[in-house]
Amino acid sequence: MIDPKGHLRTILMMAVIAAIVMCCSPICQAKTNAKNAPFTVVIDAGHGGKDVGAKGKKTNEKSINLKVALALGRMIEKKYSKKEVKVVYTRDGDYFVTLQGRCNKANKADGNLFISIHCNSVDEKSPRRNTVNGASVYTLGLSRSKENLEVAKRENSVMMLEPDYTTTYCGFDPNSAESYIVFEMNQNRHLNQSIKFAALAQQQLVSHAGRADKGIRQDIFWVLVHTGMPAVLIELDFICNPTVEKYMMSDKGIDQMSSAIFNAFSEYYRSAKKAAKASSN
């Protein structure tokens, strides 16, 4: 027997979800690349300005993210000509950029790949805070893991620093698990390519940068939902672990982590270029 009240709640929930998807989906849509346009990679240094991100004992996430992002961009620009690859930063200094602003910049640039760089952490009261370690790369998807959901909540909660964020983000509550059901209806046509780059990046962070393997994961991050291109969010390692933090602050650490992502990008770009050539024949 169908519960009339429960059935009504379901109908109302679906109506709300549909309204939010319709409200938010058009915000970020990438246009089609011109035939001979360079491959555009958008490098997103997470957090910035008043939003420091996760905190270590000696530094904070926004600083590490920016150093790795800029180092990665320099490596790409050194190897490839401007006709081959164009590098776009969502921020190139210590200033605040909204989550939606990052999406808008990526889509305006007609990006071919979006790489969001972050540092991971756990709650200050967690007994694992000083020992947890490892890199993970996220693609868009609805995770059933409590741990993954907590990471998504933390990264998405940045929007609460913005004035009138409920209007900008169509009523989305970053701290409500129920809000994430919205994105089960949001198809990601770039998922296969996102997973491909995620696998390359994860492998390099483990083999080249020596990070413990936390695996490729899926969850709902605003910047992955609303960028119209293959997109990943990289959690380099856990800044809350003092040993890891020391590595991440070092020149060696910055170089190894950024070059690991660069190696992944180079392989991905070669593959994309080969595929584009094959499709044009």
Per residue in 214-247, pLDDT tens? 999 988 788 998 898 999 999 999 999 999 999 9
Whether pLDDT at 14 is above 50: no
Q: What is the pLDDT of residue 244?
A: 99
Closest CA to 152 of 184, 120, 182, 125: 120
Q: Give 172's pLDDT tier (boundaries 50, 70, 90).
A: low
Domain of 109 in residue numbering reads as 33-280
Average pLDDT over residues 259-280: 93
Q: How confident is the model at residue 21 (pLDDT cuts 50, 70, 90)?
A: very low
Q: Of 78-82, 150-154, 215-219, 261-265, where does mean pLDDT reach its minimum?
A: 150-154
Tokens 């983000």, residue?
Answer: 169
Of 129-133, 143-147, 158-162, 228-232, which gets the smallest average pLDDT?
Answer: 143-147
Nearest CA to 57 among 111, 129, 127? 129
Percent of all residues in the chain with a pLDDT value above 70, rounded to a whole number: 71
Q: Which residues make Cβ contacts (< 8 Å) with residue 197, sequence separation at least 6? A: 113, 115, 230, 232, 264, 265, 268
**Is residue 23 in some structural domain?**
no
DSSP element (H, E) containing 135 = strand 135-140
Burial class of residue 157 (count of CB atoms within 10 Å of its CB; 0-12, 13-18, 19+): middle
CATH number of the structural domain spanning residue 234: 3.40.630.40
Tell me, yes or no, whether 12 lies in a domain. Answer: no
Question: 2 in a domain, yes or no?
Answer: no
60 part of a folded domain:
yes
**1, part of any domain:** no
Q: Indicate if the pLDDT at residue 262 is higher than 50.
A: yes
Does some domain include residue 11? Answer: no
- Total structural domains in the chain? 1
Measure the CA–CA gap between 122 and 133, rounded to whole angstroms: 10
CB 227 within 8 A of CB 98: no
Question: Is residue 52 in some structural domain?
Answer: yes
- The phi and psi torsions of 51 (rounded to 5 degrees) equal -100, 100
Could you tell me the pTM of the whole model?
0.78
Confidence of residue 277 (pLDDT cuts 50, 70, 90): confident
pLDDT at 141: 79
On whether residue 24 sits in a domain, the answer given is no
* pLDDT range class, residue 180, cuts 50, 70, 90: low
Name the average pLDDT for the chain. 83
- Select, from the ranges 35-49, 138-152, 218-232, the one with the highest average predicted confidence (pLDDT): 35-49
